[in-house]
Amino acid sequence: MPLGVIVPLLLLPFLAIFVYAAWHEYRRFRKEGRSTYGLTYDPESNTTFVGTIPDSGDSYDPEDYDPENSGSDAGQDGTPADDTDTNHNEQDNRK
């Protein structure tokens, strides 16, 4: 097969996905208007994902973040306070 045929065949799936995503976003824009995207936290599944941030919702502001007051459960010496399981990742609790 000539190279002039192989390259377009390899790029065609990526082009199709890009066109579909652009069309989907254009339809959403016409229906709902302009949106602001950002990192959203889902406490139910303990995951984050990129999604639309509602106008009434608070978005992440790096100026408001204080690493000294992050709400961790560490004791004064930096060790976990009264907790034997230091792995708090609910998705990967293999034992």
Mean pLDDT of 47-72: 70
Give yes or no for residue 12 having a pLDDT over 80: yes
Q: For residue 38, what pLDDT band results from cuts at 50, 70 and 90?
A: confident
**Which of 6-10, 34-38, 56-60 is predicted least confidently?**
56-60
Which residues make beta-bridge pairs with 37?
A: 52
How does DSSP classify residue 51? E
Report residue 51 as tokens.
């999604």
The model carries a pTM of 0.46
pLDDT of residue 6: 95
What is the spatial distance between Cα 4 and Cα 69, in angstroms, rounded to a whole number?
A: 59
